[in-house]
Amino acid sequence: MHDDRNLVEARLKRVLDERIRPAVYPESVPLQVAVWHAPGEPVPVAEGLAGVPEPIAVGDAWGAPWGTSWFRVTGTVPQEWAGRTVEAILDLGFDENMPGFQCEGLVYRPDGTPVKGLNPRNQWVRVGAPVAGGEEVRLHIEAASNPVILDYHPFVPTALGDRETAGSEPQYRLARMDLAVFDESVWQLVLDLEVLGELMHELPVEGARRWDILRAVGRALDAVDLQDVNASADAARAELADVLAVPAGLTAHRISAVGHAHIDSAWLWPLRETVRKVARTTSNMTALLEDEPDFVFTMSQAQQFAWIKEHRPEVYARVKKAVSQGRFVPAGGMWVESDTNMPGSEAMARQFVHGKRFFLEEFGIENDEAWLPDTFGFAAGLPQIIRAAGAKWLLTQKISWSQTNKFPHHTFQWEGIDGTRIFTHFPPVDTYNCSMKGSEIAHAARNFKDKGAARHSLAPTGWGDGGGGTTREMVAKAARLRNLDGSATVAWESPAEFFAKAQAEYPNAPVWVGELYLELHRATLTSQAKTKQGNRRSEHLLREAELWAATAAVRAGFPYPYEQLDRIWKTVLLHQFHDILPGSSIAWVHREAERTYAAVAEELNTIIDGSQRVLAGEAVSGRTLVFNSAPHARASVAAGAAAEAVRTGASRAAAREGGGFVLDNGLLRVEIDGRGLVVSVYDSAAGRETVAPGQAANLLQIHPDFPNMWDAWDVDAFYRNTVTDLTDVDQLVAVEDDGVAAVRVVRSFGDSKVTQLLSLPPDAKRLDIDTEVDWHETEKFLKAAFPLDIHAERYASETQFGHFHRPTHTNTSWEAAKFEACNHRFVHLEEPGWGVALVNDSTYGHDVTRTVRDTGDRGTTTTVRVSLLRAPRFPDPETDQGVHRFRHALVPGATVGDAVREGYRVNLPERRVAGGGEVAPLVSVDNDAVVVSAVKLADDASGDLVVRLYESHGGRARARLTAGFAADAVAATDLLERPLTEGARPELADGSVELSLRPFELVTLRWTRSAPRG
């Protein structure tokens, strides 16, 4: 037989496009349309419905950027349509290739009841099935004219990302507003042909199945009357029935489809628009659930449920009903789908605390899975946090975006820094926006890395990023793929159902140890520095507020601000969303975040100040208490205590031969040359130099920074090819303040200016570096380099509840790909017996490289570079412009314990309060390796005290934890402060608990306070 595949396939495409799809709506009449443009920000529904509209016609322009227009559409169903299915087709001017990234709408009835959302792939509203004829149709559309930021030519700088700069030019033209007859038979024929045509392309030409489908498609097309498709649709479908009925083979890959609409809580739209995106999507999904009995939909992010509860209670009622039926499944148990690299220990824990608690309180649902399909890599400390929250599974997809190395598994056990393992799945469909295309289903089956040992995978199905969700077409395709020869099988299932089956069939899944590093989007560790600083400072202010409010409550009966802290935590957690904290959102989002962080800081400082003043008591002349919020004693003040600080000694500055200055405090001798660069940091006790020979530390370097794509997200390895050392100096002067010697260095470069204060505190082996940058560069990358005279094959990088090691070499492509990585408060390098730490107060990105010096001994040196600022132009063309301040410290002779201590110190500065008596700590620990990460009152307002701690050095640790208050009992709990049923129970003896911790083990203890004696 002749090979006529191309002929049939081309025929199928043209007949579908030009005859069959248009016949889905064979008859239509126009609707009358009027519009009212809301002034300013979105208005309540009642106000939108009450607006006085003016006529508008199809083809007319509408919609200023970020505006809201309320359309009223009216019409009458023709009498001759009686007995037929009728739908309203409402096209606001959509581009079908951009669901979620342009204008959208939510349809209401005249009484304000929401009907469903409108987007480019979902433009219909059912009027009746069947209609009687003569019905009056009246609908209202709340239409958001969100501008297209990421267009066909992506990453072009645009002013549309902020309402203040976006202008008022209309963005869209009204395209179609009709009542139309919906032909169910033709619609089903379209889906029959799409499913078979897409499957046919994925089958081998040599196989009989492909040819069986080809011939059936040819017969169906022969049966179609091109002049009367509607009358011939059933006959055409009959020709396809046999090939659609052939069952899949017993060894077919099995796909659990999960209805899904990944909605970024902010990205190319502001937070307020996400509230409406969620309402539109959930309206659609609850309606689809009512129509499709097999369909299951899942949505993560407790914040998004909370938004519709607050802003769209009528939609939330429908969601709650569907949840109670097990059809609408809350997933993930986190407040938002956060970044997981940069959030601190407590913040990462609280993502699960607040997310899981919301789902428990609202729905009675306990999530066993973490659901993070789009997060930009996963920190090595995350597995034990997931487990400590009472969960056991993780889903993500983003690692498939890695540019260099293909991850070797799709289903595996992920082991974290403490040895905790989490059963993890990466959907081999390689998207979290599956649309049930044959190419996607075939790719999932072919791509699945664990063939032979497992055959289950998951496919999150629905339009996402900007929302939209699953469509009726996707559900119909899935029904045809449920058991179809040549295809993987598809069944709608919840995440929990999938994970239970996948784990049961693959109990000995392979293990991956350490971070799940995404070989892409590395610049998200640096972009939008003020957002990152706001996050870091909020995290530490929350630690202080909880600590001192709890101390004041226990010591002085101070009212503990439960509701206020809960609200602030949720605000900070929201801003850890994986496009806010990483700096990849539009200008509007980051300007708003800056204001929000300022308000958070003001509130938290008020709590801290009020608590400390209560604790300090009456002021005594000349007496100042130092409040130490850090988990280690300093200046004779215990951790979590307040007392008068005792300091001795001083540092001094002297002129350096050849130019510059020498700082000395008897512990370190620091030489700063005439260029203002640190050329020597000598550890007097160890008799050892810190800076690599012939090199200079604290060397500011600037690189061109124009990645191939994803400007705010990416830094490509070739940026290193060109570097400019900033060595010219405008000012170099020695200064002294309260016994602390320092050198001020001022430099100018390009259109920018940097001022640094290099100071050497008394009695401390560290060089403090305060940097202020007035930054006005474009597409540049600013780093600070510290070449160290240390031979290190690996270095320690702090992550949640501990640290882990990365190699300094690039032996393999896996190591080479990690040319920019994340740390929290410190990185630490060491040779046996001597190490160096570099700590920071607000930076995350860094790189570590090694070289062989040009001296006779050819010794290896290691350079740490911290990333300070970038200047990408998309999606925010003004990224990072303005003044920024950073604090770093170089700590020679540091153990990893010193790195932990100094990291906390730089982020938790002392607070001085005039007062009388000292304040004893609520809890004390007798081992510095065991770090208290939180002291707070229990969230249930019982008055119990909750203490969270972890082993921070990476070794076994025994410690005694002593309560500074009367306690009746103590219990180990999960992160949600619920008693654990497994493991050893702590025993309380004389107000103390003996602990024996594994490396990096995380423990939460709940103390029941003794009732006061009357």
Catalytic positions, written as ranges: 374
Q: What is the DSSP letter of 263?
A: B
Residue 150: alpha-carbon gap to chain centroid: 19
153 burial class (0-12, 13-18, 19+ CB within 10 angstroms)?
Answer: exposed
Residue bearing tokens 């950073």: 886
| Side chain identity, residue 935 | V
Strands across the sheet with 678-683, in order?
A: 652-655, 661-664, 668-672, 678-683, 688-689
Helices 345-363 and 302-311: crossing angle in degrees, nearest 10, is 50
The first and second tokens of residue 350, run together, are 């609280």
Count the residues in the chain.
1014
CA distance 196 to 217: 8
The first and second tokens of residue 29, run together, are 């009449």
Residue bearing tokens 């094959």: 793
The first and second tokens of residue 510, run together, are 């392979």
Q: What is the DSSP letter of 20?
A: I
CA distance 511 to 518: 18
CB 349 within 8 A of CB 385: yes
Distances (CA, A) of 378 to 342, 479, 482, 483, 916: 10, 35, 33, 36, 47
39's CB contacts (< 8 A; 6+ apart) are none
Assign 16 to helix, strand or coil. Answer: helix
Helices 529-556 and 345-363: crossing angle in degrees, nearest 10, is 70
The first and second tokens of residue 528, run together, are 């939008």
CB 875 within 8 A of CB 585: yes
Distances (CA, A) of 310 to 184, 324, 351, 625: 38, 19, 20, 44
| Cis preceding-peptide flag for 130 (omega within 30 of 0) | yes
Distances (CA, A) of 67 to 95, 137, 177, 273: 18, 26, 20, 10
CA distance 895 to 683: 14
Backbone φ, ψ for residue 601 (5° rounding): -60, -40
Distances (CA, A) of 759 to 133, 467, 680, 730, 732: 84, 51, 14, 19, 13
CB 960 within 8 A of CB 993: yes
Radius of gyration of the chain (CA): 31
CB 711 within 8 A of CB 880: no
Backbone φ, ψ for residue 338 (5° rounding): -85, 165
